[in-house]
Structure 1
């Protein structure tokens, strides 16, 4: 979509001419809505049907405004921010700001993105980096590292000064602690100039617990018959609710020119057809020449959503979970589903995508759908991310939990397999800093979050007594946030510098040897070589075969001859040769390309 094809949004403030702005609020529970623009007399908005109130005012970019909503004719009304506010002055409780989205002069207006198979994701949290202005300086570093796509944790306005972003209450507004909308556009513009895509994590399954006033004037926005872990479910049966979120997604992709979205926890959205409608609407409105990628987080492993071009890929939690069990031996919590014969589960994952494709979980419920027909690039894999680190009580990274050589072998599998890899900020230099769960809620809610966090880990063996639970960092303490800031300077010191060289080298191999052969690649299967070792093969698009062998055990394992081709990388010298001779050393991995045709497929 170009400027001449501006989309007419049904929510929020739209600049429609010089010093003239149209406002629209969906408030089906209200009897009256007044528009209050600073410096102007209040304007009674017109009821336009379907619960919508509209009005126009003589104001422009930067104007401050609120809505005063009257639940009934006898009430005095309540002042609320615009739920579709593009920006806030002074946080979620301050006035909303009129934003003209087309003021930014794009320096890289011809950017069309990159094909999905070129993607190497790098997830980061803007707040811990110091906001958009500070994050800018790291763009050249990430491009040089070999990353091709930055994935931002949610930027939607949230309560307080620090938050992961999943407590957002104004999904259209860039949180003011990160910077103004213009700063985000400049960040994306500069990333594009370096060949970097930028993705955004969006939350369409719930609102945060503090600062959401929608129930006061749009009660039908939520269901009273279905709960989620975060409260009443959003009612996607309502056409206006669907439109609210579809227009939000379109705003990020059109006005900000994000290259893709990662949709958080879509398993909490009961109306699956909404997801299909969202994808179809976005693709019909955006310039077809652009590479726009839609990625899911979905515990249901609904492989059908990855078909027919609706969604590009899904975060593969199965891959992470089984790798974590193999690397650490942990089996509590959700890792219990992967503790039994983990190497066999990894074999299925490497050969077919999901581990759970309808099999029952530990609670006896079937999970997932068949996924073997999907390409390897339909799955995003990771050893660490914000959830898998930050949802630990102490926020430890794998650097502190796994044997270093085993982690090195696992990293080779992550970065050289045909699945799309994701790195979490600091992982590339084996950071030892924690990434903790942090918030900035007011007193009563802060206490509830603190105690809820500690109660969450009461069933874990390490936190059985009150003293151990009391040592879990307080999410609301500023020190918890400060401890989570990545220290980029440590990447220059040993042994972190050596690990950074290792990751950079693997990514160079990926771009030179894997990516050109990746579009159209398919899995040939995998087989176990013991309790902690595996070999997997993929047919690449040029008739070569990519083979990766990995042994995470402390002992060598016997192998059959796989046929050594051109060695791409080995984490211990001589590994590729050793696999031909029938022995795979401990804590090692190797990747090579085979050119010999006619090999039978490995059984998955």
Structure 2
């Protein structure tokens, strides 16, 4: 058994003598006082550069806040715990209290990843996720990815409105409960990845502008608000240390950086990668994942582990549903060609004009191995950002979804499935939050007006049917209905998932170290043949047909999977998938 502790530059750090040192960067404040429950306010020492610090006689569980120049008391921006939420006092936490049961865990190599994205609140908090670990491990899941868990306003939220990046949301459980979840996952050989948000703060509980206005770049604005000054050393370190904190103190196996394209200083990514590499223990597998609208293949080429492949999802979604509005317009001209390019080269957009924004998007990615790309059919974004949160099985023909699901789980790209997808969940996943008063009303109306550009929602009466994000019922309705697992359909999807992941483990994962495209051919509308050269001179061939037509093909040898099960040799039926693995000549 062992305790892990990452000593942060910011916040409250317990010393070996039992006292605690408090540090705050507050360049907009002339004076700062430390307020600890039951003690007189103590003036903090300034270095003249905006840094305030003090060592106080208090230890774990003490409640504290900082009183800045205008007299307002604010929580610690690097707080480890907020027992009363983001508007309450911070709590001193002793990281050494938790004794890890599996301190020897070194992670898993990336090519073994089969990711399961989940929302902690919808699954019953950290304890609820723990209760599902055995079934996920038995299914073949090797990594769970948690949507953001840092503190946010209210008791329920997707997590992208967080304001205190170091403090875990109190509604999911105590920090030690999170550590127990990660420990329990590691005991089952499952990695744990955390989604982090560094490009903006939520609308409730962000006090940084009061005492650290230098944190923000007022010349940079985005859909999320004022930009963040990543080129300032204290700001850069604040977020780099946040990654190290999750990886070292909580033993996460990696992070997924949300909206990386909104981080203005590109050099931050290199600095992050260097700090992680020089901090983690030798031999430990830690993965840095991007969600990046820019399709920045350079970051992947320079050492970042992988990127969510939105292009792959969007091309598949258009093929499966025929939808062509919003960002699907980018893939509506020839989705078959787009999907072929995904299978051959990773990204669709590699520098072309994006018709949705009118700007160039992406850079060449054809030299990158397939494992640099995370493929998915559903996730929180593409499902939850729909007006009514429909799952894919509600939008497309089940037989077509089944063929695409086989592609997802048997292609050389890293697969990710969304909670409940493994058993064919049709429970909607809505956008939800927990704000009140005028802010709640603005969010509700803004959510409904957001869809006014879509043909289906031109009618205001239909727009008013979009669920109120702040209503508790919206959150409750988003919980995956596990009773559907026991239906005939649910059992069939579970069996399919188990079978496909068993095939992946046996026939795909052992040969994935340097998977490269060996050519792609378009057979017809919605029908593609793709090949990859794998390790040990293996050639993986995949045929997929997402159309209602059938095509003649040359029958591959050494079949490992076909759908439908009964098929005529030399024919690629409607809504079908064929995979073979053979030795290269």
TM-score using structure 2 length: 0.98
Q: CA deviation at 1:173?
A: 0.1
2:381 maps to 1:382: no
| Rounded Cα–Cα distance in structure 2 between residues aligned with 1:451 and 1:564 | 54
| Rounded Cα–Cα distance in structure 1 between residues aligned with 2:271 and 2:83 | 33
State which of 548, 565, 568 in structure 2 corresponds to 1:573.
565
Alpha carbons 1:565, 1:595 under 8 Å: kept: no
Aligned counterpart, 1:430: 424
Alpha carbons 2:6, 2:245 under 8 Å: kept: no
Unaligned runs of 5+ in 1: 598-604
State which of 39, 64, 80 in structure 2 corresponds to 1:86.
80
2:133 maps to 1:139: yes
SS in 1 for 2:524: coil
Unaligned runs of 5+ in 2: none
Q: CA deviation at 1:521?
A: 1.8
| Rounded Cα–Cα distance in structure 1 between residues aligned with 2:242 and 2:515 | 34
| Rounded Cα–Cα distance in structure 1 between residues aligned with 2:78 and 2:420 | 34
| Rounded Cα–Cα distance in structure 1 between residues aligned with 2:183 and 2:584 | 45
Q: CA deviation at 1:527?
A: 1.2
Alpha carbons 2:531, 2:540 under 8 Å: kept: yes
Q: CA deviation at 1:23?
A: 0.3
Aligned counterpart, 1:56: 55
| Rounded Cα–Cα distance in structure 1 between residues aligned with 2:66 and 2:336 | 57
Measured on the aligned residues, the alpha-carbon RMSD in Å equals: 1.2
Aligned counterpart, 2:308: 315
Alpha carbons 1:114, 1:197 under 8 Å: kept: yes
More off after superposition, 296-305 vs 587-596: 587-596
| Rounded Cα–Cα distance in structure 2 between residues aligned with 1:44 and 1:591 | 68
Aligned counterpart, 2:14: 15
Q: CA deviation at 1:209?
A: 1.2
> Is the alpha carbon distance of 1:404 and 1:271 closer, same or farther for their aligned partners in structure 2, counting shifts above 3 Å?
same
Q: Deviations over 1:390-409 (max 9, x none)?
A: 00000000010110111000
SS in 2 for 1:489: helix
2:577 maps to 1:585: no
| Rounded Cα–Cα distance in structure 1 between residues aligned with 2:390 and 2:138 | 27
Q: CA deviation at 1:590?
A: 1.1
State which of 94, 114, 134 in structure 2 corresponds to 1:100.
94
| Rounded Cα–Cα distance in structure 2 between residues aligned with 1:565 and 1:51 | 68
Aligned counterpart, 2:214: 220
| Rounded Cα–Cα distance in structure 2 between residues aligned with 1:48 and 1:502 | 62
| Rounded Cα–Cα distance in structure 1 between residues aligned with 2:358 and 2:36 | 56
2:157 maps to 1:157: no
| Rounded Cα–Cα distance in structure 1 between residues aligned with 2:420 and 2:7 | 41
Alpha carbons 2:288, 2:305 under 8 Å: kept: yes
Alpha carbons 1:352, 1:525 under 8 Å: kept: no
Aligned counterpart, 2:36: 37
Q: CA deviation at 1:121?
A: 0.2
Aligned counterpart, 1:594: 582
Aligned counterpart, 1:345: 338
Q: CA deviation at 1:574?
A: 4.3
What pairs with 1:136-215 in structure 2 (closer than 5 Å)? 136-215=130-209
TM-score using structure 1 length: 0.95
Q: CA deviation at 1:17?
A: 2.5
Alpha carbons 2:546, 2:576 under 8 Å: kept: yes
Tell me the number of residue pairs that the alignment of Structure 1 and Structure 2 aligns: 583
Q: CA deviation at 1:558?
A: 2.8
Q: CA deviation at 1:596?
A: 4.5
Q: CA deviation at 1:241?
A: 0.3
Q: CA deviation at 1:364?
A: 3.0
SS in 2 for 1:56: strand
| Rounded Cα–Cα distance in structure 2 between residues aligned with 1:9 and 1:404 | 50
Aligned counterpart, 2:388: 394
Q: CA deviation at 1:7?
A: 4.6
Q: CA deviation at 1:515?
A: 0.3
Aligned counterpart, 2:351: 358
Aligned counterpart, 1:296: 290
Aligned counterpart, 1:555: 549
2:268 maps to 1:282: no
Alpha carbons 2:3, 2:95 under 8 Å: kept: no
| Rounded Cα–Cα distance in structure 1 between residues aligned with 2:55 and 2:519 | 61
